[in-house]
Every structure is written in C-alpha cells, then in structure tokens.
Structure 1
Amino acid sequence: MFLLLVLELTDDSNKKKPVVVIVIVSISIVSGMFIVGWIIWFDLVTVAAATNNFSYASKIGEGGFGPVYKGVLETGQEVAVKRLSKSSGQGLEEFKNEVILIAKLQHRNLVRLLGCCIQGEERMLIYEYMPNKSLDYFIFDQTRSTLLPWHKRFDIIMGIARGLLYLHQDSRLRIIHRDLKTSNILLDREMNSKISDFGIARIFGGDQSEARTKRVIGTYGYMSPEYAIDGKFSVKSDVFSFGTLVLEIVNGKKNRGFNHADHDHNLLGHAWLQWKEDKVLELVDAAMEDSYVVSQVMKCIQVGLLCVQKYPEDRPIMSSVVVMLSNESVTLPQPKQPGFFTERSSRDTDLLSRKEKGCTENPVTITVCTMIINFVEEWQRTLTLVSSHSGGR
C-alpha cells in the first residue's frame, strides 16, 4: 500500500514550498511489524512478548528517557527496548529526534536503531542489543577494569573517533551529538565501541558550523566551556567531550568527581599538571599494569589534552584526531591549558542530564517526522476499526 503526502512547509524566508513524502506501508501478520518507509514499526504485542511483558528480569537499565529492556524477537534476534516513561519530562522530544536520525546514520561504530513502537500512549525505541553494556560499566569498576587491557582500550578509543568523524564529516548530514560520555558508549560481543543515544543530537545543514541554545543540556564533566557557559555548540564541543573520554579511558577515573591528595582539580586539570611536570605515565590506570604500549599511551594523553583545550579554535577536528592516533609518524602540536582549569570544591557532585524543552531543530525535518508519526497513529486506529467491524459480522 502506498500513501502520497504532499505537505506545504514554510522555510526560514516564510515562503511555502511543497514537499512530497512517499510513505510505503506494509503489514506482516507473522512478524507483527509495520514497515513505514525506512522505519520498522513494531506493534505493542510483539514488543511485550519479546520483553516478557516488560518484566523486571528483562530490565537492563534506566535513564531520563525511561527504562531499557532486553528483548528477544520471534526470529531469535536480541534487541534493546527503550520505553518512554509516562513521567519522563524529556523523552518525547528525544524520541522524535531519534526517529528523525534513523535514516541518516549507518556506521559500524554507531548503535543501530532498528525501529520503534507507537501505540496508544506507548512510545518505544528498539535497538540492536549490546551484550557488554556500556563503557562506564568497565573502566570505573576496580574489578571489571582489568578486563580492558590497553590494546582493547585503544581499539575503543579508535572506534569512538571513527564514529564521531562519521557524524561530523562523512554522513549525509553533519551531526553534533552533544552528550558524548562513557555511559553512551556501548560495547558489543567483541568489545567494539558504538556511540549511542542521539536524543539531544542536532543536525547542522549547509555551511552551518555553530549554534547556540538558551537551555543547555547534556552531562557536566563532558561539556565544553563554551557550551556549558554560553550555550554554544559545534563539532568542537563534541571534540572536547571526546578528549575527556580519552583521558578517562587511560586513567580509569571520572573527570567530574576526580580526587587527588595534592589538589582539587578535576581529571583534566590533573592531566595538565602531569603533562607540565613530564609525569604523564603516572596517569595510566593501575589495572592495566604492564599491558600498555608507552608510545600509544603518551600519544593518547597528548591527543586528549589537545581535544580539551579551553578555546574551540585550538582543538583539532576529528579527521585530524584519527590521523594523529593512527599514524605513528605524525608530529603532534603541544597542548595548551584545558578548559575548566580551576580548582573546585571537593563537595561538588555530578549533575545529571537535563532536558531542553525548547528545540531549534530544522522545522521541515521535524514537521515531516511528526506527520509520519501522526499518519501511523491514524493508520493503526483505522486498522482497529476495520478489525472490529469484521469481527462483528
């Protein structure tokens, strides 16, 4: 079945332009799925059966969006199901944002979004299942961190770098993730890293290189100074987050909440002090013992410090980062002082991600996405009516 939607959308110049959206709908009774264009729309019965009716035993996590469950489809495929909590203040916009990006992003170092479920008040996202959970599950745990020797940590760093390079440069649209952190780096069976959670990501179009928001969202400890203070974000704010990740992977401690007997700096400040005193190898996580390659570790620390420099114009772009990390003959520049290089009170605690209700996404993209979602809801209501009438005959 085909449905042709002709929409009149208004661009920034207030001129109405016709946009044709062709939505292809097919119904599979066997699989219990709706396929709408590039999106697989799972029905509630299928998802409930896969997760044992969203049982506590199937629950594998919880975030601002809502609970996450492990599910097994009738085909035997394992999936992760993010179910929008009815009490969530941030989930609906994030849900729409991930649906917008579903057709845009395909890369081995990005978690694949398989589809979604919209039925009644339910809003769910279905992902490929990552059996080894997230990066923070390993590197910040004294016991599990020993399962990540240096060669694997270096592979994880390279995977994140390549995924971020794809988002910034190689995908059809420039994507700014805005919430890159250890808990959003998932690990597959072979411990390969995959970037996840695009709920607050932004799409940059054309020659756009920077944007500003009045409501800053993300996770403190990974935010760049210009974003946390002025609401400015760009590829360079993602680069800052990446640099923080690199230093955390090397050190095995969180940036925010980092403690040291000699000072009250965070991990970035501590790394900078060690760099200036030529003691960078003291940053290496003791859990790695003698498993690391000195030249690789020192290069990663230097790249990490280059990425977290205070001013965005000093930070490298991700294409340069990938070259610096993968090419041993490249000469690296000397890093400058990192952002937030000030001693803070030891009473500071982590602040959780906050939802930005105001959205400055591309209005055409959001409108098209909303129209598709509304169409699916209407189509499901029609199917229900047809089914009820057929059953009454």
Structure 2
Amino acid sequence: MTDMKSLLVLLCFLFSAFFASMSHARRSPLLSPLFSPQPQPAPPITVVASPPLVMNVIVEDNHHHMHKELLLAIILASIGVIMTIVSIFCVIVFYRRNRRNSGSKTTQSSDAGGRFPLGPIFSKFNTVKTTPRKGSMAMVDFALLEAVTNNFSDSNVLGQGGFGCVYKAQFEEGVLAAVKKLDGGGYECVREFENELNLLERIRHANIISLAGYCIHEETRFLVYELMQNGSLETLLHGPTRGSTLTWHIRMKIALDTARGLEYLHEHCDPPIIHRDLKSSNILLDSDFNAKIADFGLAVTSGNLSKGHVKISGTLGYVAPEYLLDGKLSEKSDVYAFGVVLLELLMGRRPVEKLGPSQCQTLVTWAMPQLTDRSKLPNLIDPAIRNTMDLKHLYQVAAVAVLCIQPEPSYRPLITDILHSLIPLVPIELGGTHRVIDPLPQA
C-alpha cells in the first residue's frame, strides 16, 4: 500500500512539472520558439503597393500563425490525455497486483473455513497444503488429524457411516470439528469421497453442512466438517432420549430448516442437485437445533441424469418407489424422503420396523391409511409431544406428509410449496411466522 502511495505522489509531481514547464515556456521569450514559434518578420517590401495589398498580407500572416498555435495546442492536449490514461492504467494494474499479493495468503484459509472458525486455525499449521484441483479447500496433514482426534480414539467416535466412523476433533483454542474417516479404498469409497468433496466445495447455505478440509493418507480418506453439537436427528428421535428433547415447535423448525436446504439444492443450484440419501441420520443439529443436511456422497446433479442410468442407491424406507422399481430419479425422489422424515418427526417411529424374524414394515405402509383419519391421528403422534400442539397445525403437517409420500411422483408437491406450507407453523423466534399464544393447547 505504501508503494502505491509513493507511485501516486511521483505521478502527481511529474504532471505538475510537465504543465509548469509548458506554462513557463509560453511566457519565456527564449524558450517560446520551442513551444510556440513566433512569426518571422516579413522581408522588406520594395515595391510600393496600394493599402489594400498590405492589409491582405498582414491578415494572411496572422491567420497562418493562429493555425500553427491551434495545431500545437491540439498535439499537446492529446499527449497530455494519453499520458494521463497510461498513468491511470499503470496505477490500476499496480494496485490490483499489490492487492492480490497481499491477500493471497489469507484467501485460502478463510474460504476453506466456511462458516466456522477452522480456516484461521488451519492457516497456522505448516502441514496445511492446497491443491489447484481442489481450489480453496484445505488439505490437512494426517499427523494433525491424529493429534486432534487423540489418535482416532474410540472415546471420540460420534457415529458410524457406511465406510467408517466419524470422530470428534479438538483444534487450537478449543475449536471443535468432526472428522469422517473413509476406510477401504475401494472404488465406491473413492467415488463418494470425490463426489462429496467436489459438491461441498461450491455449496454455501445455512442449512447445508460446511466442509473445512480433507486428507488422503495411503488408502484412507478423511473429510473435516463443522461439529454439530446435538448430533443427528436419528439419534435424538430413536436413541436413549426417545425424542424427549424435541418439542413440537423444535420438530417443526427442523422440518423447515431441512426444506430450506432442499430448496437450495433443487432451485438455486445450477444444475440442480438431488441429494438421493436424505434421512434422519443425515440431518444434523447444532446447539440451537438448527438443522443442516449432510453426507453428499450419493448426491447427483440433474445434468448427469441425462447422460445415462444412475445406479440405484439409498436407504431402505426412504427410497421413492419409482426410483426403487424403475430407476427413475428426480427432485421428487428427495421430496418422498422428506415426507418420511416428516412422519418420523410426527410419530417418533423408525422408517422400517421388524415385525418378525423375516418380516418388516415400512413407516409409510403403516401410517398412510391412518393419516387422513382425523379421529385417529392424535393417537398416532409420538408420546413425547402428544397433546402439545394445535390440532389444526397437526392436520396441516399430516396433509403435507401425505402429499410427499404419494406413489406417483407427479402428485408430490415441489419443495418450495412444502416450504411455504411449513413457515406459518414455526414460531417467529425459530425462523417462521407463527405467533405463539398458547403453547399447550387442549387436545
């Protein structure tokens, strides 16, 4: 920045000196011929001419002198304008180059950190690397991940994924993160790792999990995320607490946040992104129960659907029937999975339950015949929230769930329509528009 100021001062001094010399040259009789040549005295006229002839000679000479002055003025003005433009261009180039050089050291870490404070911490370690292929995503050294996870201790395990465990990691200054370890090194593992890394590098949304960095160590791969203190929706609903920490309003907020994340993927990403594995275990909650969609290993863009058949993947109980039976995948497949999550929030039941040693029943099959019966619906609700909501709101949420799980995809609503239906049911302080008057109405 100091160099730029010095350059500006130097340019101002040169301009002042240039115009001062021009002004002095026009006043000085010694230098004036260089800038404004005076007309030479006319040779003596020996022939006596009539007065009209003398007047013509003087007028013609003055006209010639004015023409030269005008031409010289135009030339000098053009030179001044050109010098000014060139100088301004040089200043702009210098400023941009100086700004790029001074900011390049911090851009990488701030972008990689996303919305949580891992970027500045990563920048302090010499082990952090960057690769042109991954752009702004930080590549973290394996030794650092070993240190912050206590050598991947079992006591730090947060959950279990399809290809490995998720570990709690503590960095400098008490900053916490989650490290997903992908073991095996097989084709599917590598493909999902690359897919999630490429997608989350360019996705930025309040209801989508933030990715800070990655690591590749021999055949094992790691992804570093922001830590969600309340874990997954699945754990809170079906774990030891059995949904006791999730009130009706918090459940509606979780549904609304999830719908907002899906709307971003479907409507605001170009091309649209289909998550393909939306489920309660992939909906993570922070300390304020803000919900974020995670695990994009199976996600696909709508542009890839036209290139060929997409291999059927997903979790039983959440997979839409047209995708499971015919391989037809669309944004409406995510809407179906969202409907199943909505049923989990309402009833506190798992998406698939065992009826016997070799017999299972899906939540959709069990709930669908009863959802439209208003007399039965209140008794189907999770006991942890039963009789704690306005029945009108309950009927409306049930109606949205019924539409989402329709067998025919064309009958399912767009995620934007679902979002607009849920907003009036969520209290203002939780991100909706509902004004709570009586939090515990009579059933």
- Residue of 232, 244, 261 corresponding to 1:134: 232
- Residue 257 of structure 1, CA deviation: 1.2
SS across alignment from 2:174: coil
Contact preservation (8 Å) 2:185, 2:219: no
Contact preservation (8 Å) 2:139, 2:215: yes
Structure-2 residue corresponding to 1:79: 177
Question: 1 CA distance for matches of 2:329 and 2:414?
Answer: 14
CA RMSD in angstroms, aligned pairs only:
2.6
1:26-45 equivalences under 5 Å are 30=125, 32-36=127-131, 37-45=135-143
SS across alignment from 1:253: coil
1:166-245 equivalences under 5 Å are 166-205=264-303, 213=309, 215-245=311-341
Question: 1 CA distance for matches of 2:333 and 2:297?
Answer: 17
SS across alignment from 2:276: coil
- Residue of 413, 419, 427 corresponding to 1:316: 413
- Residue of 393, 402, 405 corresponding to 1:305: 402
Question: 2 CA distance for matches of 1:319 and 1:230?
Answer: 26
Structure-2 residue corresponding to 1:377: none
Query: Is 1:146 matched up with 2:241?
Result: no
**With structure 1 as the length reference, what TM-score do the two structures score?**
0.71
Contact preservation (8 Å) 2:139, 2:213: yes
Amino acid at match of 1:240: Y
- Residue 327 of structure 1, CA deviation: 4.1
**With structure 2 as the length reference, what TM-score do the two structures score?**
0.63
1:48-87 equivalences under 5 Å are 48-86=146-184
Contact preservation (8 Å) 1:236, 1:317: yes
When residues 116 and 159 of structure 1 are mapped into structure 2, their CA distance, relative to the original with a 3 A threshold, is: same
Contact preservation (8 Å) 1:28, 1:34: no
Structure-2 residue corresponding to 1:113: 211
Question: Structure 1, residues 183-208: CA drift from partner, whole Å, max 9, x if none?
Answer: 11111111111110000100123xx8
Question: 1 CA distance for matches of 2:227 and 2:147?
Answer: 16
Amino acid at match of 1:174: P
Query: Is 1:325 matched up with 2:411?
Result: no
- Residue 221 of structure 1, CA deviation: 0.3
Structure-2 residue corresponding to 1:349: none
SS across alignment from 1:83: strand
Query: Is 1:267 matched up with 2:363?
Result: yes
Amino acid at match of 2:413: P
Structure-2 residue corresponding to 1:253: 349
SS across alignment from 2:379: helix
SS across alignment from 1:106: coil
Question: 1 CA distance for matches of 2:166 and 2:240?
Answer: 25
When residues 258 and 110 of structure 1 are mapped into structure 2, their CA distance, relative to the original with a 3 A threshold, is: farther
Question: 1 CA distance for matches of 2:196 and 2:421?
Answer: 31
Contact preservation (8 Å) 2:206, 2:292: yes
Amino acid at match of 2:127: G
SS across alignment from 1:232: coil
Query: Is 1:90 matched up with 2:90?
Result: no
Question: 2 CA distance for matches of 1:105 and 1:287?
Answer: 35
Question: 2 CA distance for matches of 1:253 and 1:88?
Answer: 34
Contact preservation (8 Å) 1:255, 1:266: yes
Structure-2 residue corresponding to 1:385: none
Percent sequence identity is 38
May I ask how many residue pairs the two structures share in their alignment?
Answer: 301
Larger RCO (alpha carbons 8 Å, 6+ apart): 1
Structure-2 residue corresponding to 1:293: 390
When residues 169 and 66 of structure 1 are mapped into structure 2, their CA distance, relative to the original with a 3 A threshold, is: same
Contact preservation (8 Å) 2:166, 2:178: yes
Contact preservation (8 Å) 2:208, 2:293: yes
Contact preservation (8 Å) 1:70, 1:80: yes
Contact preservation (8 Å) 2:185, 2:220: no
1:157-168 equivalences under 5 Å are 157-168=255-266
Question: 1 CA distance for matches of 2:185 and 2:201?
Answer: 28
Question: Structure 1, residues 126-152: CA drift from partner, whole Å, max 9, x if none?
Answer: 000111111011112463411111011
Q: Which has the higher strand share?
A: 1
Question: 1 CA distance for matches of 2:260 and 2:183?
Answer: 32
- Residue 246 of structure 1, CA deviation: 0.3
- Residue 232 of structure 1, CA deviation: 1.3
Question: Structure 1, residues 311-351: CA drift from partner, whole Å, max 9, x if none?
Answer: 111111111111122247xxxxxxxxxxxxxxxxxxxxxxx
Question: 2 CA distance for matches of 1:166 and 1:210?
Answer: 21
Amino acid at match of 1:231: G
When residues 275 and 118 of structure 1 are mapped into structure 2, their CA distance, relative to the original with a 3 A threshold, is: closer
**Structure 2 gap segments, 5+ residues each:** 1-106, 110-121, 426-443
Question: 2 CA distance for matches of 1:83 and 1:267?
Answer: 31
